[in-house]
């Protein structure tokens, strides 16, 4: 079997390598780059990665056009001297902006160029002020907008938004990040715990049943197979404060004080999310464990029962050790799945309890802050690595067997 | 010779008009939220019938404004020209303008002879950014108190209409009148964890001036028997469901509910009175803006202009308030919108208050919602909430 | 690999099965099925009964109606089913092709960096998908690939690792002798995969296809961010777009849910064996 590969075999792996590179390695690398920048898509001065100075040329042109638009209205309000002043202003502005009439993107700008633009804006500002002072009694159109337009023109000179490790420093002081981390851990640990417990119980029961197991297996697969976003919506309805039957049932059983708490209170939403997750993935866990149980040689059980071992002893002495390899792998994957939970909570409560994925999504998509969003997802990435390491090194999960 | 010219002219005109008839109208895509009233569709139909150069198509966005904002941002960030005219919540305009997603309208307005001061001041102000005007009103909105005039005594009604009452007074009245006239609850308002919570808290705290007192009044209202058990899941939908079916005596909602009472209410308009809210009326509503990457700027503006003209406003007034000030006293508009003839409503119009204005509004709002919700749901103290709100507002 | 059927035959233990176990199983089945039943029931209720305080919890509608179904069909819920079909089919087709090619090499050859590659594939199946949202959005924006079926290529991050994993497990079980015989007949690498390995591993290939299809069908985040245009919304995104702020129309949402669950139900009923094999092949050692 050990054969070395040539370029022929390499070609077979190439498509995989390409897809992995573009859709996994490249995003990780790019996120790393983003994390060093104050990169916010909803802010024109920071909506790209600027390592050097830039001029937001379209906006510079637009603002200049607006200055001239207001100046033109003022032509009829002043005397001839004023008209000449305004005409000269208009001419200078036009000259400054006309090179950018067709610009669609920010243009690179040298330090010298930046100084020139700033000086130009200051010059125009002064001349507008002079104009206003010359005509104190006239209500000039330019007066209303000149300041904010010139401020905006100033802001079109965009410096570098490279911030180095600032984003990471911010993460260290971000209480919301740590509360999201805590929520994520609570959600993960509790839901995986119950999935394991109930899943194990079911697997043991199913392992004994022969008749009817087909039905149980089919029914188990349905919650697992339907989209999480759809099942979360189903649960939103079941939990609804007014029309939700589960909310009502829980209230009548005395589990919650009133039906709306499931989707509004902090502990309610956490419980709601965990129950929905346990409902959806316990059957999956049970099937995994069942498969593990079924490859255990029954001869071992028989010799145990001959030795007079009770069911609990048999379980601990025989079943558990033999099940351990598949158990750990199943647990690892479930833990990581739960850790990155997004669909379920995004749909169920539109974001409470706020987990890391939810927080990252809100920062990236909601606030358009790709820079800090990248810091958060990279932190998640590190957490995932730590969890995997914990399973492999401490618990001894075997992931790659040759 | 003259005849020849005349003939030629006729021929050219005929050809021209034939070409115009044959030419397909340019399609203008209008990205707007779903409308539970027929007004949006009606005004689009009216515009399309009024001219033949453009045909407006309504891109029905989700009704969930948070989701709609994300959808718009995702599309606009990508530089898409899919939408020409955008309907924006008043609180988004600053952000969209700052991000360069929408284009300034001053020059277009100037060309068309429109003056900014002729339109709803609050709406125009929420879209004035860096010396440029980026929006015109779609329809302005304001929070107000609806009450059952057939249940509430004349004396109390007069007090409400005058606006001379406190939140505690309202709670007392809600407790007193609940159950009367087949009602089940006293007061319905919005306290679910979403933007509406900010609007309501704005009113309870009198525009964030009395944070502690306002929040405590809000919690007292939630905890009182006068509100439904699940009041903390209430958005506008739950509120109108309750009020128009005659299940609550008082409700805080936007003017659209008046249209619903008329069209599908179990209760009738003559059973309903309107009053200002104790802490002022939060201004809401929607704005119209043009996508910076639109390929049909002229058509887009033509539609916006129509919406803000007399015929457009008359159609819109079947469900919404006019954004064109001259229409506030227009006979037909007032006929369509009885609200304008009501003293309580006019009083509410006088006490409008704005939500915080910010280019990063979503961040501010998010922080406010979290802080308020934590207190109302009992997981935080009022002092923590006050502190968190102050921090958020200072941003 | 698991051998469910074989071990069951070894020692049927049904005789020792007690009523308590049956009760547990019955309760389990009830809990699993109940949400679907309730959704089905609600979908036939008119709005007034769903929201009415006295009628919300009735099992049977007083005035059953099909209007919820009519409304959601009018709103084009079927176009999202069509999109999901297209997107899942494309994904399945290319993922099975790419995975089987590389799985063959991984199962049959040793080479420098093989462990690294296996580890990488495993790592990708674990990492938070949120990480690809920002960079891939920008990439698609620059390539003008937003709002298109190109989203299917991005689905490779969620489907490819497990596909490779399942395929490797299946390929490894094919005896080498078969290939050696074929090699003497002069088969090249490509022919070996397609004419020799593929037919023998057909059940495994099929399992991979089903698992990939389901994973693609269920994807939410990438479609939500890369395809904001309604015309490309798949089932999970489209059904959530039915939510509104002013009123949550549970009648429509439950009706839509019933409609969009049907394809999944069919797949589960027809292919449950393959699905179980797919679920367990990553976790259970031979």
> What are the tens digits of pLDDT across the range A171-226?
999 999 999 999 999 999 999 999 999 999 888 888 876 667 778 888 888 999 99
Nearest to B237 among C225, C228, C246 (CB): C246
Going from the C-alpha of A345 to that of each of A178, B355, B378, the distances in angstroms are: 18, 28, 22
- pLDDT average per 10 residues of sequence, chain C (286 residues): 38 57 86 94 86 75 90 88 96 96 90 89 88 91 90 94 90 85 81 86 90 94 87 90 72 93 90 83 50
pLDDT by residue (tens digit) across A369-393?
999 999 999 999 999 999 999 998 8
Same domain, A350 and A213: yes
Q: Is residue C30 part of a domain?
A: no
Q: Is residue A331 part of a domain?
A: yes
pLDDT for the residue numbered B7: 63
Backbone angles phi, psi at B353, to 5 degrees: -130, 150
**Interchain CB contact of A197 with C (< 8 Å):** no
Domain boundaries, chain B: 2-141+285-341, 144-276+360-394
Backbone angles phi, psi at A206, to 5 degrees: -65, -30
pLDDT by residue (tens digit) across A340-356?
999 999 999 888 899 99
Specify the DSSP class assigned to residue A51.
S
Q: Is residue C45 part of a domain?
A: no
Q: What is the CATH number of the domain that holds C147?
A: 1.10.3720.10
Going from the C-alpha of B191 to that of each of A302, B141, B156, B252, B353, the distances in angstroms are: 62, 19, 25, 11, 18
- pLDDT average per 10 residues of sequence, chain B (395 residues): 62 56 82 84 95 92 77 82 92 90 94 91 83 92 94 95 95 95 94 90 94 96 92 85 91 89 85 94 92 95 96 90 87 87 87 78 86 91 95 84
Q: Is residue C158 part of a domain?
A: yes
Last residue of a domain, one of A100, A128, A158: A158
pLDDT > 90? residue A103: no
Same domain, A216 and A146: no
Distance CA B42, CA B320 (A): 12
Q: How many domains does chain C have?
A: 1
Number of residues in chain C: 286
pLDDT for the residue numbered A292: 84
Last residue of a domain, one of A102, A124, A158: A158
- Beta-carbon separation of C141 and B79 below 8 A: yes
pLDDT > 60? residue A402: no
Same domain, A66 and A40: no
Neighbors of chain C with 3 or more C-beta pairs under 8 Å: A, B
Q: Is residue A249 part of a domain?
A: yes
For residue C242 the two structure tokens come to: 């039915």
Average pLDDT across chain A, whole number: 89
For residue B225 the two structure tokens come to: 């028997």
Contacts of A352 in chain B (CB under 8 A): 193
Contacts of B82 in chain C (CB under 8 A): 229
According to CATH, the topology of domain B2-141+285-341 is D-Maltodextrin-Binding Protein; domain 2 (3.40.190)
Task: Tell the burial category of C84 from Cβ atoms under 10 Å away from its Cβ (0-12, 13-18, 19+).
Answer: buried
Q: Is residue A34 part of a domain?
A: yes
Nearest to C2 among A210, A294, A402 (CB): A294
Pairing of the two strands B136-142 and B281-290: antiparallel
> Range of A26's domain?
7-46+163-168
Rounded to a whole number of angstroms, the distance from the CA of A4 to the nearest CA of chain B is 46
Q: Are A360 and A377 in contact (CB under 8 A)?
A: yes
Q: Is residue A182 part of a domain?
A: yes
Q: Is residue C242 part of a domain?
A: yes
Distance CA B181, CA B246 (A): 8
Same domain, A268 and A378: yes
Mean pLDDT (whole number) for A280-292? 88
Q: How many CA atoms lie within 13 A of C272 on its CB side?
A: 19
Q: Is residue C56 part of a domain?
A: no
Task: Tell the burial category of B196 from Cβ atoms under 10 Å away from its Cβ (0-12, 13-18, 19+).
Answer: buried
pLDDT > 80? residue A301: no
The SS3 of residue A157 is: strand
Distance CA B58, CA B35 (A): 11
Q: Which residues contact B229 (CB under 8 A, 6 or more apart)?
A: A241, A258, A259, A260
Residue whose token pair is 């036009």:
A94
- Beta-carbon separation of B241 and C248 below 8 A: no
According to CATH, the topology of domain B144-276+360-394 is D-Maltodextrin-Binding Protein; domain 2 (3.40.190)
Q: Is residue C61 part of a domain?
A: no
pLDDT > 60? residue A10: yes
Following CA atoms B75, B77, B78, B81 in sequence, which dihedral angle do they give, to the nearest 10 degrees? 60
**Interchain CB contact of C108 with A (< 8 Å):** yes
Nearest CA in chain C to B62: C241
pLDDT for the residue numbered A357: 96
pLDDT by residue (tens digit) across A49-90?
888 888 999 999 999 999 999 999 999 999 999 999 999 999
Same domain, A154 and A282: no
Q: Is residue A36 part of a domain?
A: yes
Same domain, A24 and A147: no
Number of residues in chain B: 395
Confidence (pTM): 0.84
Same domain, A92 and A108: yes
Q: What is the ipTM of this complex?
A: 0.89
Distance CA A371, CA A171 (A): 12
Same domain, A228 and A193: yes
What is the three-state SS of chain B?
A: CHHHHHHHHHHHHHHHHHHHHHCCCEEEEEEEECCCCCHHHHHHHHHHHHCCCEEEEEEEECCCHHHHHHHHHHHHHCCCCCCCEEEEEHHHHHHHHHHCCECCCHHHHHHHCCCHHHECHHHHHHCEECCEECCEEEEEEECEEEEECCCCCHHHHHHHHHCCCCHHHHHHHHHHHCCHHHCCEEEECCCCCCHHHHHHHHHHCCCCCCHHHHHHHHHHHHHCCCCCCCHHHCCHHHHHHHHHCCCEEEEEECCHHHHHHHHHCCCCHHHEEEECCCCCEEEEEEEEEEECCCCCHHHHHHHHHHHCCHHHHHHHCCCCCCCEHHHHHCHHHHHHCHHHHCHHHHHHHHCEECCCCCCCHHHHHHHHHHHHHHHHCCCCCHHHHHHHHHHHHHC
Q: Is residue A400 part of a domain?
A: no
pLDDT by residue (tens digit) across A14-43?
999 999 999 999 999 999 999 999 999 888
Following CA atoms A97, A102, A105, A106 in sequence, which dihedral angle do they give, to the nearest 10 degrees? -20
Q: Which residue has the higher pLDDT, A312 or C214?
A: C214
Same domain, A292 and A352: yes
| Chain C, window 112-131: residues with a beta carbon less than 8 angstroms from a chain A beta carbon | 115, 117-131
- Beta-carbon separation of C246 and B82 below 8 A: no
Q: Is residue C63 part of a domain?
A: no
Q: Are B277 and B201 in contact (CB under 8 A)?
A: no
Neighbors of chain B with 3 or more C-beta pairs under 8 Å: A, C
For residue C237 the two structure tokens come to: 């995104």
> Range of C263's domain?
4-9+77-281
Find how far residue B156's CA is from the centre of its chain. 28
């Amino acid at each position: 079997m050990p054969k070395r590969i040539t370029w022929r075999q390499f070609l077979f792996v190439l498509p995989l390598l390409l897809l992995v590179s573009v859709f996994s390695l490249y995003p990780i690398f790019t996120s790393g780059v983003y994390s060093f920048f104050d990169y916010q898509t909803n802010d024109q001065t920071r909506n790209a990665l600027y390592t050097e100075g830039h001029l937001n040329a379209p906006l510079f042109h637009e603002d200049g056009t607006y200055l001239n638009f207001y100046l033109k209205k003022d032509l009829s309000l002043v005397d001839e001297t004023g008209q000449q002043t305004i005409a000269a202003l208009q001419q200078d502005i036009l000259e400054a902006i006309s090179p950018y009439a067709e610009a669609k993107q920010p243009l690179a700008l040298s330090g010298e160029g930046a100084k020139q633009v700033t000086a130009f804006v200051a010059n125009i500002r002064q001349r507008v002020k002079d104009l206003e002072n010359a005509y104190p009694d006239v209500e000039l159109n330019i007066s209303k907008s000149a300041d904010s337009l010139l401020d905006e023109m100033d802001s079109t000179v965009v410096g570098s938004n490279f911030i180095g490790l600032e984003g990471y420093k911010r993460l260290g002081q971000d209480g919301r990040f740590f509360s999201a981390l805590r929520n994520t851990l609570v959600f993960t640990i509790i839901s995986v715990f119950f999935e394991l417990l109930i899943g194990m119980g079911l697997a043991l029961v199913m392992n004994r049943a022969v008749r009817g197991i087909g039905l149980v297996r089919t029914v188990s697969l349905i919650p697992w197979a339907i989209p999480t976003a759809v099942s979360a919506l189903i649960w939103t309805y079941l939990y609804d404060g007014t029309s939700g039957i589960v909310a009502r049932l829980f209230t009548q059983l005395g589990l919650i004080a009133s039906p709306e708490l499931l989707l509004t209170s902090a502990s309610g939403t956490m419980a709601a999310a965990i129950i929905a997750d346990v409902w959806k993935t316990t059957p999956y866990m049970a099937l995994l464990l069942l498969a593990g149980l079924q490859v255990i040689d029954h001869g071992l059980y028989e010799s145990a029962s001959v030795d007079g071992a009770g069911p609990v002893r048999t379980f601990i002495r025989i079943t558990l050790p033999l099940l351990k390899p598949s158990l750990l792998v199943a647990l690892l994957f479930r833990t990581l799945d739960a850790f990155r939970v997004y669909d379920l909570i995004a749909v169920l409560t539109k974001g409470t309890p706020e987990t890391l994925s939810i927080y990252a999504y809100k920062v990236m998509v909601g606030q358009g802050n790709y820079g800090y969003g990248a810091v958060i997802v990279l932190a998640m990435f590190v957490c995932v690595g730590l969890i995997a390491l914990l399973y492999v090194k401490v618990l001894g999960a075997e992931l790659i067997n040759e | 010779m003259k005849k020849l010219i005349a003939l030629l002219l006729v021929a050219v005109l005929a050809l021209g008009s034939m070409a115009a008839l044959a030419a397909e109208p340019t399609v203008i895509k209008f990205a707007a939220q779903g409308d539970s009233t027929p007004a949006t569709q009606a005004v689009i139909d009216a515009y399309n019938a009024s001219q033949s150069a453009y045909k407006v198509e309504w891109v029905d966005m989700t009704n969930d404004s948070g989701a709609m904002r994300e959808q718009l941002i995702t599309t606009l960030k990508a530089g898409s020209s899919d939408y020409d005219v955008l309907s924006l919540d008043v609180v988004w305009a600053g952000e969209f303008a700052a991000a360069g997603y929408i284009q300034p309208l001053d020059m277009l307005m100037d060309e068309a002879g429109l003056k900014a001061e002729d339109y709803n001041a609050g709406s125009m102000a929420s879209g004035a950014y860096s010396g440029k005007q980026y929006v015109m009103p779609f329809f302005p909105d304001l929070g107000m108190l609806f009450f059952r005039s057939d249940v509430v005594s004349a004396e109390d009604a007069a007090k409400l209409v005058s606006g001379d009452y406190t939140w505690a007074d309202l709670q007392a009245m809600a407790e007193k009148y609940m159950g009367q006239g087949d009602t089940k609850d006293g007061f319905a308002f919005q306290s679910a964890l979403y933007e509406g919570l900010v609007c309501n808290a704005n009113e309870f705290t009198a525009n964030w001036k009395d944070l502690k007192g306002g929040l405590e009044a809000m919690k007292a209202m939630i905890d009182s028997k006068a509100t439904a058990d699940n009041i903390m899941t209430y958005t506008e939908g739950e509120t109108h469901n309750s009020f128009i079916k005659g299940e609550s005596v008082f409700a805080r909602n936007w003017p659209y509910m008046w249209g619903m009472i008329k069209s599908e209410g179990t209760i009738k308009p003559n059973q309903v009175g309107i009053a200002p809210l104790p802490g002022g009326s939060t201004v809401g509503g929607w704005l119209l803006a043009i996508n910076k990457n639109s390929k049909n700027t002229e058509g887009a503006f033509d539609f916006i202009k129509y919406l803000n003209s007399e015929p457009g406003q008359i159609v819109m007034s079947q469900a919404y308030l006019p954004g064109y000030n001259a229409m506030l006293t227009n006979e037909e508009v007032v006929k369509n919108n009885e609200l304008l003839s009501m003293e309580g409503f006019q009083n509410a119009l006088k006490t409008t208050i704005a939500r915080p204005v910010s280019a990063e509004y979503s961040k501010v709002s998010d922080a406010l919602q979290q802080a308020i919700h934590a207190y109302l749901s009992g997981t935080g103290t009022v002092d923590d909430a006050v502190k968190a709100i102050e921090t958020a507002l200072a941003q | 690999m698991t051998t469910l059927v074989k071990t069951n035959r070894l020692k049927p233990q049904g005789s020792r099965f007690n009523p308590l176990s049956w009760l547990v199983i019955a309760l389990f089945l009830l809990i699993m099925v109940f949400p679907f039943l309730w959704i089905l029931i609600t979908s036939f209720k008119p709005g007034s009964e769903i929201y009415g305080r006295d009628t919300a919890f009735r099992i049977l509608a007083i005035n059953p109606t099909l209007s919820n179904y009519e409304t959601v069909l009018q709103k084009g819920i079927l176009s999202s089913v069509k999109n999901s079909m297209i997107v899942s089919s494309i994904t399945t087709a290319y993922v099975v092709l790419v995975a089987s090619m590389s799985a063959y090499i991984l199962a049959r050859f040793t080479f420098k960096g093989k462990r690294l590659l296996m580890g990488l594939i495993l790592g990708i199946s674990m990492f938070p998908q949120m990480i690809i949202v920002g960079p891939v959005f920008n990439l698609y924006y620059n390539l003008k690939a937003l709002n298109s079926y190109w989203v299917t290529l991005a689905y490779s991050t969620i489907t490819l690792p497990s596909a490779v994993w399942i395929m490797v497990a299946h390929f490894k079980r094919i005896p080498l002798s078969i290939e050696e015989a074929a090699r003497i007949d002069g088969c090249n690498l490509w022919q070996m995969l397609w004419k020799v390995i593929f037919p023998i591993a057909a059940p495994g290939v099929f399992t991979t296809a089903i698992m990939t299809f389901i994973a693609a069908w269920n994807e939410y985040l990438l479609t939500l961010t890369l395809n904001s245009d309604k015309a490309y919304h798949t089932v999970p995104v489209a059904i959530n777009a039915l939510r509104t702020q002013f009123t949550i129309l549970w009648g429509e949402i439950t009706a839509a849910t019933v409609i969009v669950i049907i394809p999944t139900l069919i797949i589960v009923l027809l292919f449950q064996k393959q699905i179980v094999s797919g679920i367990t092949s990553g976790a259970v050692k031979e």
